[in-house]
Amino acid sequence: MIQPMIEKSLWHPVADERTLGSSPMAVSVLEHPLVLWRDSSGSVHAWTDRCPHRGARLSMGQIAQDRLQCPYHGWQFDTRGQCRLIPASAELKPPAGYCASDHPVAVQHGLIWVQLQAQAEAEVPPFADESSGLRLLNCGPYDVASSAPRVVENFLDMAHFSFVHEGWLGALEHPEIEPYEVQETPRGLLATGCKAWQPRSNLHSTAAAQVEYTYEVTGPYSAFLSKLPEAGSTRLTDWREAIGLFVCPLTAESCRVWFRLAMADHESSDEALASFQHTIFCQDQPVLESQQPKRLPLDPRSELHTSADRLSSAYRRYLRRLNITFGVC
């Protein structure tokens, strides 16, 4: 029996909510093209981007009176996906099976999320929300020529700080990674007691400092970290921050990446906060895209490991346990 692909029942981020205006938008996930559109009540719809009549791309069509009209022969579909008008056979009442194929949609963390296959128990990966009192801001998207799991693993990896982020998140004189703890959680993984010596750990750093990290893997393609620098090393008092990583697997070897920043900073501009994160990710991206193979190898014998890599090794075992097949090898 062919097993259904578990990835299809996960929630995937496909677009920044603010970028969906009054026109249909083409996006994709797991090599599956989707059209997003918004009706007059503000609700978002996500359908397979293929007209059931002759296969044209619905995202090339237009929205009128809460219907999406196909660009080819003008068939109109209502908010439930039901065809309501066939202009060339206007007297025909379209039968119930004349439908666009729709998918569950959620809006969370400022992003639009889609499930390709409905599964009620699946949840959008958690992250800090308004109740945290932190400033929330999205950064991205970044289109990355590597697999989603390689991007997640890079996010969890501390041993590259001294080299890729030298002078920022790491220093050449402090490359060593002290032992830290990794444990499984109902949702994924938790790593605690992770420490890094960082010359400039955030936008307001005034001195190099020891920074304590906590990492949580919240799904196969999502994670977040919280970091706390030593007292006195940051211009803002009570500084704390968390960074969420949400990755949309486009193909097995390419993905779209968003970061969600949650910061105890209500004074800096959005641009200043996003620009720090942008600088850091632009340091990561070329190395990430150079990694071969682009899919993450799950066989432990395929690459070499040390104790500093215990979180990434645990992440690979976690993907294996879940039977993830997309973006891995």
Residue 284 binding: pick among Fe ion, ligand FES, none (C-beta 5-8 Å cut-off by kind): Fe ion
Which SS3 state, helix, strand or coil, does residue 104 take? coil
Residues 274-285: b if buried by 16+ CB within 10 A, e if exposed: bebbeebbebbb
Total of residues contacting ligand FES (CB under 6 A):
8
Pick the piece of the chain touching Fe ion (CB under 5 A) from 71-79, 100-108, 234-242, 281-289.
281-289
Task: Determine the interface stretch with ligand FES among 4-12, 46-54, 244-252, 315-323 (rule: CB under 6 A).
Answer: 46-54
Beta bridge partners of 68: 63, 77
CA distances from 232 to 6, 48, 154, 199, 271 (A): 46, 52, 29, 13, 25
Q: Facing residues of 247 across strands?
A: 257
Find out whether 327 and 249 touch, Cβ atoms under 8 Å. yes
Nearer CB in complex with ligand FES: 69/138? 69
Cα gap 28→48, rounded to integer Å: 9
- Which of ligand FES, Fe ion, none interacts with 235 (beta carbon under 5 to 8 A by kind)? none
Which of 292, 313, 255, 249 has the alpha carbon at shortest distance from 321?
313
Query: Judged by CB under 6 A, which of 8, 32, 53, 187 binds ligand FES?
Result: 53
Binding mask 55-94 for ligand FES (x = CB under 6 A): -x-------------x-xx-x-------------------
Closest CB 180 distance from ligand FES, rounded Å: 55
Q: Write out the two tokens for 286.
A: 């070329």
Q: Which of 284, 285, 288, 294 binds Fe ion (CB under 5 A)?
A: 284
Q: Which residue is nearest to Fe ion (CB)?
A: 284
d(CA 112, CA 75): 26
Q: How far is the CB of 77 from ligand FES (least distance, A)?
A: 9
Partner from Fe ion, ligand FES, none binding residue 51, C-beta < 5-8 Å depending on class: ligand FES
The site for ligand FES (CB under 6 A) is made up of: 51, 53-54, 56, 70, 72-73, 75
